Amino acid sequence: MSTGEALAGADGALRCPWALSTEDYVAYHDDEWGRPVHGDDALFERLSLEAFQSGLSWITILRRRPTFRLAFAGFRIEKVAAFTEADRERLLADPGIIRNRAKVDATLANARVLAGWSEGELDELIWSHAPDPAARPVPKVLGDVAAVTPESTALSKALKKRGLKFVGPTTAYALMQACGLVDDHLEACVSRGAATRG
């Protein structure tokens, strides 16, 4: 039974144990998760995908991400904000994405809200909630990693106050982890601190 410690992958490198179940996860863990993401469209994509992931395994979303990108016009805010009722029906009939009516509607509504923001405003709002790395303990095992933090709760409230949907504290924290606002790679993980090295 796993104790939640970093484990050696096929290449011998220690990684967060969740990353070792599939090659898709290894690549995502090594190259994306915990690395800083900036830009309104890129953050809109991550926020949308985290919302679609709610209640599902991340691997389900990761493997469908290319189809999501096609279906949602590359998650370009202005394009998604202009989607029509016909686009909505197309999305709800698309087997390549998650056909959850509430999540599709939230993504479209969020794009319409964000289309009214200034360029860089979403990026600035999200990154203003990044905690001081020096004040955060380094996780040694998976049990040390939180699902919700005061910062993610504050980010969730800020996004909801501005009219965004499907952005609860758990989704907000998953976004913070995925986009590098926090480094939740385990202490012994080969990717710990990778975003700030070199």
Q: What percent of the chain has pLDDT over 90?
A: 90
Q: What percent of the chain has pLDDT over 70?
A: 97
For helices 169-178 and 40-53, the axis angle rounded to 10 degrees is: 130
* CATH H superfamily, domain 40-127+145-176: Hypothetical protein; domain 2 (1.10.340.30)
User: Where are the chain's structural domains?
Assistant: 40-127+145-176
For the question of residue 117 being annotated catalytic, the response is no
Q: Is 189 annotated in some ligand binding site?
A: yes
Reading phi first (left if > 0) and then psi (alpha if -120 to 50, else beta), residue 166 is in left
CA distance 45 to 109: 14
| Identified catalytic residue from 25, 33, 45, 50 | 50
Q: Is 179 annotated in some ligand binding site?
A: no
| Identified catalytic residue from 28, 32, 127, 187 | 28
pTM for this model (two decimals): 0.94
Residue 39 has pLDDT above 60, yes or no: yes
For the question of residue 50 being annotated catalytic, the response is yes
Q: Is 16 annotated in some ligand binding site?
A: yes
In three-state secondary structure terms, 135 is helix
| Identified catalytic residue from 5, 32, 58, 127 | 58
Per-residue pLDDT averaged across 109-115, rounded?
98
